[in-house]
Amino acid sequence: MGEYQQGGLNWLVSSQTRRLNGILADEMGLGKTLQTIALLAYLAAYKGIWGPHLIIVPTSCIVNWEVELKRFFPAFKTLCYYGSAKRRKELRSGWTKSNWHHVVVTSYQLAVQDSFAFKRKKWYYLILDE
């Protein structure tokens, strides 16, 4: 992690500690995804907060987030939420269980389309990617 990324992570941790929301608005390609995953890993490792976290991204970024989550913090149980209506219903079947998945990654389109389901779940963090 670069020095500027460590600074971003420190700011995210500080904001979380003070119960403040924030926007990590670094330029494209500077590691916002890594900093965000590092925040979630910090919460899990040092605070015992494993989620659930909801990450909403452009459709084209879903697989990238899955790869990066597995690469940088493989202990997270990650669910990529996409597919047919039938498949998505099957994916939602375990949402009421604790420790079901730590992180759910989905698209803006599906977050709106299936908002009835996302509203029922109490998410610890909501992360919006550009």
H or E element, residue 47:
helix 32-47
Full pLDDT tens readout for the chain, 130 residues: 778 788 878 888 888 889 988 887 777 767 788 899 999 999 999 999 998 999 999 999 999 999 999 999 989 899 999 999 999 998 888 777 766 789 999 999 999 999 999 998 889 999 999 8
Predicted confidence at residue 26, as pLDDT, reads 72
Determine if the pTM surpasses 0.85. Answer: yes
Per the rule left: phi > 0, alpha: psi between -120 and 50, beta: everything else, 16 is: alpha
CATH number where 36 lies = 3.40.50.10810
Count how many domains the chain has: 1
The parent domain of residue 55 ranges over 3-128
